[in-house]
Chains A and B, each alone.
Chain A
């Protein structure tokens, strides 16, 4: 009964979305604007959070609009109504959050203390050139504390979709052996799956953009999947290297359906769905690290200590000497 009520509320929001500010290609960003970056704390996987007056930490994400992670401006819609949003908790329940506006744009805050991934969605709808644009920004926010233990990790790690409310959605499949402590890194092959009305969508255009703007577009296969390898695009001087520097990647998928109708009294002839998914990655673990050097050092130490012990023992070994005692003496 309760779930039906929640579902009804979601449907209400979907079909009667407040008039937005026509934010194009919106996506969630965990990078705070420069002006307020000092007030922000960072937790696991570089997740930003703010501390309320009650001392409780709230996860915070900003809404940005654009196609490139670095250059995209913070989405500003001060004079317009707020877009709709949903937060899906690890136990698959819609939870409360707060979408606020401040300089320089929208930000979403919520309390997330359950172990696992929270899915965040923000939906924007507008008609432009007789096309109804439905943009769904999505991101996954991890919540984990080692002190809570690591039991049932596989279940908590499982990616999920919100098919009751989100008709066009991108899902990131977990890489083999991924756990709460895993960072995606340059070199990893990551599979993304596009869903339309809860079923995998074939031949959808999907684009991958790295922090520095490198991009690649593919079409999804019969299972709605596309695989991208995160390229290495971070090569600073040795002294400036930050092995744990968190970069953002942005996935955008598109799909068009020919369908006529009206939205807020405006006629449209087709619906264009855009889905974005923000993720993060760190430089390759192999960057500036060498297994070969490690292996040679290991062999060198074994041989050196072995030879040392051998000569130490040989040196201490006394040659056989026969002593004859003359009992008369």
Chain B
């Protein structure tokens, strides 16, 4: 048992993650070819606009289930909403934010774009703390709108007219997943601008613009879109009670800053916070690069149902970073 644990702790998790992401991508983007439907309440961007998707992103049914009249919330509509959320919550509890780092097809695409940038020797961008703190609020605003707009399409508030139906489903209309994921199955039908109404034109054009920014953004900034992802908020809320956890022993932390340097999303607290045990933040994608990059024994630990799966060790750190093929942590100074 001890040997297995040492083997895991010394292993190259980044490589495992790379292959795992490929398998997950095939499953979630092409699963439909094999008649696979994993779930319709998935905490990842498995886009239903991709006809051969192996499941459905939860944000789609969530918006549909909120697209009802207010009186229906107290009856069958409310029950369906609750049932849908419970399925989503059940799935989220298992892998927590690991869904983002290991499974989400949109995240995988961003990682592949990052690889392309590295190959071209173009440097990546970082946000300073003030901009980072401002930008991370966008995902909360998006989630608020995802909930509010579908209700507003069906219901009138304080005598105001209902929102135009062409705005619905609001997030799917602007989600880069709707544009990009069908392309992987040769489906270009989502790249269009609908001129039928002004609202439809605005929403479809916005979707294209967001997809364009997604591509350039992911090229210069690692996991660019994850900072704005409303799914990350839902997963973060549930991560407090999730089975998969990332814990930090602050007493063992020397604040070397390695963990922050390798963090794709740029979470500063991973290095600075030495008081909290649960170190998962709203932007964390649980890629566990921080655990790989930590040279302190048992400072950072990944656990599932409190059983340690992967722990930072000095030996593991040196083994990983002395491998010729492995790039050392990107040089980023802790400001």
Q: Which residues of A contact B (CB under 8 A)?
A: 146-147, 149-151, 177, 238, 241, 243-244, 287-291, 293-295, 297-302, 305-306, 309
Contacts and interface: CB of A to CB of B under 8 A. Distances in A.
Contacts of A309: 125, 216, 220
Given A243-B197, A297-B212, A147 B84 contact: yes
B192 A305 contact: no
A249 to B, nearest CB: 21
B40 A290 contact: no
Nearest to A287: B196
Nearest to B190: A294
A297 B210 CA distance: 11
Given A151-B37, A294-B204, A302-B215, A241 B193 contact: no
Contact of A298 (B61, B197, B208): B208
A123 B260 CA distance: 75
B268 interface: no
B129 interface: no
Given A146-B61, A177-B51, A302-B215, 5 more contacts: A147-B80, A288-B195, A297-B212, A298-B191, A298-B212
B8 to A, nearest CB: 37
Contacts of B37: 150-151
B83 interface: yes
B302 interface: no
Contacts of A293: 192-193, 195
Contacts of B192: 289-291, 293-294
Interface of B: 37, 40, 51, 56, 61, 64-65, 76, 80, 83-84, 125, 165, 179, 188-189, 191-197, 200, 204-205, 208-209, 211-213, 215-217, 219-220
Contact of B193 (A146, A147, A151, A297): A297
A15 to B, nearest CB: 43
A286 to B, nearest CB: 8
A304 to B, nearest CB: 8
Contacts of A151: 37
12 contacts: A146-B61, A243-B197, A243-B200, A244-B165, A289-B194, A290-B193, A291-B192, A301-B208, A302-B216, A305-B213, A305-B216, A309-B216
A58 B93 CA distance: 40
A241 B199 CA distance: 13
A288 B213 contact: no
Contacts of A289: 192-196, 204
A84 B184 CA distance: 51
Contacts of B204: 289, 294
Nearest to A181: B48
A144 to B, nearest CB: 12
A305 B195 contact: no
A291 B196 contact: no
A262 to B, nearest CB: 54
A146 B215 contact: no
A294 to B, nearest CB: 4
A287 B193 CA distance: 11
Interface centre among A147, A149, A150, A293 (most CB of B within 10 A): A147
Given A302-B212, A302-B216, A306-B216, A295 B191 contact: yes
A214 to B, nearest CB: 22
